[in-house]
Amino acid sequence: MVAAQLVERPPAQPAGEDSPWHTAAACRRDEVGLFFAPSKEPTAARLSREERAKQVCARCPVLLDCREHALAQPEPYGVWGGLTAAERRVVLARRRRRDVELCEPVRVPGARGRIAG
């Protein structure tokens, strides 16, 4: 088993109006391999790694910005904003379902063919 390489990155600075949100991300100080799966990773190892990544995300000051970025892209891999790719797919499906429901006309009970609104 090969140990994951650490990537040197500058320490995060608080994001100001002129700097992007990711400059303040807690993950900038952590191992890249923590957030992305190596090929053929065993399930138990993946779950453990993802839990450690989520712990980093939990203390991140830009967690919601990161999550929204990953949902808007959508990012297909890795832990972003405290969510795995599978969890993000669930969030996106719920949002699509909610958007469809909000756009559907409301039927008035007992009124034939009448739509409220």
Asked if residue 77 is part of any domain, the answer here is: yes
In a domain, 110, yes or no: no
Sequence-ordered list of residues with C-beta below 8 angstroms from that of 106, at least 6 positions apart, any chain: 115, 116, 117
Does any domain span residue 82?
yes
Write down the pTM of the prediction: 0.69
- Give the domain range for residue 77: 21-104
Per-residue pLDDT of the chain (117 residues; tens, 9 = 90+): 333 333 333 333 444 445 688 899 999 887 778 999 888 999 999 999 999 999 999 999 999 999 999 999 989 999 999 999 999 999 999 999 998 888 877 666 765 655 555
The DSSP output letter for 106 is: E
Q: Is the peptide bond before 20 cis (omega within 30 degrees of 0)?
A: no
